Amino acid sequence: MLFEFPPDTIVIGRIRYERPYDNPISVQAGDAALPDEEKTRSTDFIGWVWCGGPDGREGWTPRAWLERRGGRWVIQREFSALELNVEPGERFQAHFGESGFLYVQNSRGEKGWVPDGAVELAKS
């Protein structure tokens, strides 16, 4: 379920996390995304499905962002599965959360996903 954070919400890395791949699926709203149910069974993250995009790149995609149109699946909004590395104490601006992951921006301006268990809300 998509949750949008209030502006200026900061989260801080609590554990080290390394992204699993560097060049994942990246699609625009309306692009085809082909779910792979066999690969999807290998995750314990509820709400995510392994998909291939039109350019052949693959990655975990929010199931709620997919829609069946005619005989194909399409993504409903712009999406990149790029994950960011997390170091303890690193600060991120949180934009939104989806099914156990947060979409954030680090101090270098890079945007991507981090597992919500790798970060915690900064104290006000």
Does pTM surpass 0.75? Answer: yes
Q: How far apart are CA 84 and CA 105, in angstroms?
A: 9
pLDDT digits (tens, 9 = 90+) for 14-57: 999 999 989 999 999 999 999 998 888 877 778 999 999 999 99
What would the pLDDT profile of 81-101 be if each residue is shown by its tens digit?
Answer: 999 999 999 999 999 999 999
> Tell me, what's the pLDDT at 108?
96
Among residues 114, 123, 119, the alpha carbon closest in space to that of 83 is found at 114
Provide the token pair at 104.
């954030």
Q: What is the rounded average pLDDT of the residues 63-67? A: 95
Domains annotated on the chain, with CATH? 2-19+83-121 (2.30.30.40), 26-80 (no CATH)
Three-class secondary structure of residue 111 per DSSP: strand
